[in-house]
């Protein structure tokens, strides 16, 4: 049966790749954060629940709080926008996220592997891509020939978060250990072995974890859709 593969960078990226981590690690900033631990009803296996945890996070820089009432300067001439497309793009980006630098929302994903634990952050805008990967798995699972190819590691699915976590659905790896004389004869088309240069480790979890991870993502995403800076103290 296909399994959930979590490929985690052995070390955090030297520089934050997400707005959430940037804000939480901002030097000299007094940060107020609110965490909501996502739940998936029906998954009561303690061993399953203790392999990973997903929390939705709201964070605001109290040293430089967002100014909700601020409005952008009105544009002067159409020609000015046409002559400066890069400036217009910057304005659009600010309109999409007027709290940039002062407020961030996203995920805190904890993964446990034996005695090791690691935490990876993700911005809210990364969640739709991860959900699309799981939706593709649900559609693929209904088509038996494709599901068989997935189980044989001929095809696979994965989504890479910016901070170095890759979440994938692949077939269960072969139990035959590759040797120097029979290496490529025993590994799957989508290899289950690591590039020796890769500074990362892989946590493989049973098939039941696929639906659990998916439901946690859905729950965290729904909470983030309903909550933002105005109710960071918990009005909802």
pLDDT tens column, 209-230:
999 999 999 999 999 999 998 8
* C-alpha–C-alpha distance, residues 201 and 224, integer Å: 29
Judge contact between 170 and 156, C-beta under 8 A: yes
Greatest mean pLDDT range, 27-31, 40-44, 116-120, 220-224: 220-224
pLDDT recorded at residue 45:
74
Residue ranges of alpha helices (H) inside 29-77 are 46-49
Instruction: Report the percent of the chain where pLDDT is more than 70.
Output: 76
Distances (CA, A) of 56 to 26, 60, 99: 19, 14, 18
User: According to the model, what pLDDT value does residue 179 have?
Assistant: 62
Pairing of the two strands 31-37 and 52-61: antiparallel
Alpha-carbon span 142 to 169, nearest angstrom: 15
Q: Is 209 exposed, middle or buried (0-12, 13-18, 19+ CB in 10 A)?
A: buried
pLDDT score of 218: 96
Residue 157 has pLDDT above 80, yes or no: yes
The answer, yes or no, to whether residue 95 has pLDDT greater than 60, is: no
Sheet holding 31-37, edge to edge: 31-37, 52-61, 103-113, 116-123
Mean pLDDT of the chain: 82
List strand residue ranges (DSSP E) for the chain, in order: 3-9, 31-37, 52-61, 103-113, 116-123, 157-160, 165-170, 200-205
Tokens of 49: 């629940």
- Phi/psi for 25 (5° steps) reads -105, 15
Question: Tokens 């965490």 correspond to what residue?
Answer: 35
* Distance in angstroms (rounded) separating the CA atoms of residues 229 and 98: 11
pLDDT of 70 = 43
- Residue 127 dihedral angles phi and psi, to the nearest 5°: -60, -45
What span, in angstroms and rounded, lies between the C-alpha atoms of 179 and 190? 17
């Amino acid at each position: 049966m296909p399994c959930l593969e979590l490929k985690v960078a052995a070390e955090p990226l030297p520089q934050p790749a997400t707005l959430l981590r940037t804000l939480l690690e901002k030097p000299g900033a007094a940060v107020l954060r609110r965490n909501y631990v996502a739940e998936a009803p029906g998954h009561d296996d303690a061993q399953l629940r203790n392999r990973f945890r997903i929390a939705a996070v709201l964070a605001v820089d109290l040293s430089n709080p967002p100014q909700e009432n601020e409005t952008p300067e009105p544009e002067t001439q159409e020609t000015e926008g046409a002559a400066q497309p890069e400036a217009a793009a910057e304005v659009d980006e600010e309109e999409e996220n007027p709290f940039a630098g002062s407020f961030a929302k996203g995920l805190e994903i904890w993964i446990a592997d034996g005695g090791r634990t690691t935490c990876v952050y993700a911005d809210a805008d990364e969640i739709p891509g991860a959900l699309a990967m799981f939706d593709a798995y649900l559609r693929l699972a209904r088509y038996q020939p494709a599901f068989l190819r997935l189980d044989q590691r001929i095809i696979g699915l994965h989504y890479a978060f910016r901070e170095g976590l890759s979440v994938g659905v692949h077939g269960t790896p072969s139990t035959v250990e590759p040797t120097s004389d029979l290496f490529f004869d025993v590994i799957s088309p989508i290899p289950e072995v690591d590039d020796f240069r890769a500074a990362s480790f892989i946590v493989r979890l049973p098939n039941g974890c696929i639906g659990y991870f998916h439901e946690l993502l859905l729950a965290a995403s729904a909470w983030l859709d309903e909550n933002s800076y105005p109710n960071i103290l918990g009005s909802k």
